[in-house]
Amino acid sequence: MTTTTTPPTTTPTTTPLGRTLALARVNALLMTRNRLTLFYGVVLPLAPLLFLLSAPRGDEAAGAQAATTVVLFALIFPVYYNVLSLVVTRRDELVLKRLRTGETRDSEQLLAIALPGCAVALVVSVLAVAVGAALGQPLPVNPLLHVVGVLAACGLFATLAVWTAAWTRNAEAAQLTSMPVILLAALGSMRSAPFPDAVARLVDLTPGAAVDMLVRLTWYGEHPDGGTTGLAGTWAAALPPLAVLVAWAGLALWLARRSLRWEPRA
């Protein structure tokens, strides 16, 4: 195949990483420009840190509950709700379509939308450790696994957001269409509630429950099956909840790929 003209060989070409970071940087900037996104993207996830204050100094049960809430808030607002509303808004503004005409790939656009919120979630969950420590809570048993768990959950909630965006008509509608996933996350965090056995087993398979288990395990050494474990025991114990997150992410990815739209409905 011959081509008509060859661009000068000196032309620097863009790279996927460069494009993704350029977009992510602007998305982060835009998050701070809009009062609403600034509120639920940055302020709201910081708020549950106050729960740590309410736990009596050194009360690990209350501390674990607060830590779980902090991480879930960080997943629901800066990641899930933020990504959902950004995808919907950018789609309606035709920003996504405009960017698709260029070299930027679809996956780069979506990653760049998710990155700032995921960074907030990560910072908040690390900040929670510092605030917790200052208030007499223990340091995480397995800090590395704590971070891995948060990152896996970020991936899941960002993917769920893209899927939700596929059937969300506009930014206002997102307030309603986000409810199923938010309720699903909230349900899982109520693992300690006295559910019948059969229900409890199902609840354990929700994303919220997986996050709850991972936070309690990696931070407080609470084994999902009861009792406590040291650092060595956390790796194996983390596998089931991580598998739950990966399975949900796979499902969300499959659904999102089938239904995602890049421009508003005509």
Partner 1 sequence: MTDTATPAIRVSGLRRSYGAGAEAFEAVRGVDLTVETGTVTALLGTNGAGKTSTLEVIEGLARPDAGSVRVLGLDPVADRDGVRRRTGVLLQHSGFSGDLTVLETVRLWTGLVSGARPAEDALDLLDLAGRAGVRVSSLSGGERRRLDLACTLLGTPEVVLLDEPTTGLDPESRRDVWRLVRGLRDRGATVLLTTHYLDEAEALADRLEILHEGRIVRSGTTAEIVAGHPSTVSFRTPAGSLPAFGPRLDVVRVVEERGRTTIETEELQPLLTQLLGWADRHGVRLDGLSASTPSLESVFLAIADDRTEALR
Binding site for partner 1 (CB under 8 A): 1-8, 11-14, 18-19, 21-23, 26, 29-30, 33-34, 90, 93-105
Which one, 108 or 204, has the nearer CB to partner 1? 108
* Closest separation in Å from C-beta 241 to partner 1: 37
* Closest separation in Å from C-beta 157 to partner 1: 23
* Closest separation in Å from C-beta 30 to partner 1: 5
* Closest separation in Å from C-beta 173 to partner 1: 20
* Residue whose C-alpha is closest to residue 211's, from 179, 229, 184: 184
Q: For residues 237 and 210, is the Cβ–Cβ distance under 8 A? A: no
> Cα separation of 122 and 234, whole Å?
20
Give the position of tokens 């919220």: 208
Q: For residues 173 and 53, is the Cβ–Cβ distance under 8 A? A: no
Q: Could you give the residue ranges of the DSSP H alpha helices within the chain?
A: 16-33, 35-38, 44-46, 49-54, 60-74, 82-92, 95-100, 106-134, 143-166, 174-177, 179-188, 197-203, 207-220, 231-259
Which one, 12 or 230, has the nearer CB to partner 1? 12
Q: For residues 209 and 244, is the Cβ–Cβ distance under 8 A? A: yes
**Tokens representing residue 29 in the block:** 């900037």
Which one, 50 or 95, has the nearer CB to partner 1? 95
* Closest separation in Å from C-beta 2 to partner 1: 4
> Cα separation of 82 and 150, whole Å?
17
Which one, 23 or 162, has the nearer CB to partner 1? 23
Residues paired with residue 228 on neighbouring β-strands, in sequence order: 222
**Euclidean distance between the first and the last CA atom of the chain, given in angstroms as a whole number:** 38
Give the list of residues 6+ apart from residue 206 with CB closer than 8 angstroms, or none.
184, 185, 187, 188, 244
Which one, 172 or 176, has the nearer CB to partner 1? 172
Which one, 28 or 151, has the nearer CB to partner 1? 28
* Closest separation in Å from C-beta 29 to partner 1: 7
Which one, 19 or 146, has the nearer CB to partner 1? 19
* Closest separation in Å from C-beta 109 to partner 1: 10
